[in-house]
Amino acid sequence: MTDAPPPTLDGPSARPASGGVPRQLVVLLHGYGADGNDLIALAPHLAADLPDAVFHAPHAPDACEVMPFGRQWFSFTQYDPEMWRRDAANLVPALDMMGAGADSVAPALNATLDALLAQYGLGADALALVGFSQGTMMALHVALRRATPMAAVVGFSGALPGASALPGAVTARPPITLIHGKQDPVVPFAAMAHAQSALAEAGLTVDTHARPGLEHGIDDAGITIARETLRRAFS
- Beta 24-29 vs 13-14: how paired, if at all? unpaired
The tally of domains found in the chain comes to: 1
Q: For the residues of 27-63, what is the DSSP string, one character each?
A: EEE--TT--HHHHGGGHHHHTTT-TTEEEE-PPPSEE
| pLDDT score of 85 more than 80 | no
Supply the pLDDT for residue 147.
Answer: 95
In a domain, 63, yes or no: yes
Quickly count: other Cβ atoms within 10 Å of residue 124's Cβ: 17
Is 80 among the residues known to form the active site?
A: no
Is 49 among the residues known to form the active site?
A: no
- What CATH number is given to the structural domain containing 155? 3.40.50.1820
Scored b (16 or more CB within 10 A) or e, 17-28 reads: beeeebbbbbbb
In a domain, 1, yes or no: no
In a domain, 127, yes or no: yes
Please tell me which residue in 45, 194, 209, 216 is annotated as part of the active site: 216
| pLDDT score of 79 more than 70 | no
**Predicted confidence (pLDDT) per residue in 123-170, tens digit:** 999 999 999 999 999 999 999 999 999 999 999 999 999 888 888 899
State the average pLDDT over residues 218-234.
Answer: 97
Residue 234 is classified by DSSP as: H
Domain limits at 161? 13-234
Please tell me which residue in 56, 133, 141, 180 is annotated as part of the active site: 133
| pLDDT score of 46 more than 90 | yes
- Nearest Cα to Cα of residue 158 among 138, 174, 128: 138
In a domain, 134, yes or no: yes
In a domain, 213, yes or no: yes
Supply the pLDDT for residue 98.
Answer: 87
Q: H or E segment at 130?
A: strand 127-132
Query: Model's pTM, two decimal places?
Result: 0.94
In a domain, 4, yes or no: no
In a domain, 8, yes or no: no
Those residues whose C-beta lies under 8 Å from the C-beta of residue 222, and which sit 6 or more positions away, are: 156, 179, 209, 211, 214
Q: How much of the chain exceeds pLDDT 90, in percent?
A: 78
Is 184 among the residues known to form the active site?
A: yes
| pLDDT score of 215 more than 70 | yes
Average pLDDT of the chain?
92
In a domain, 156, yes or no: yes
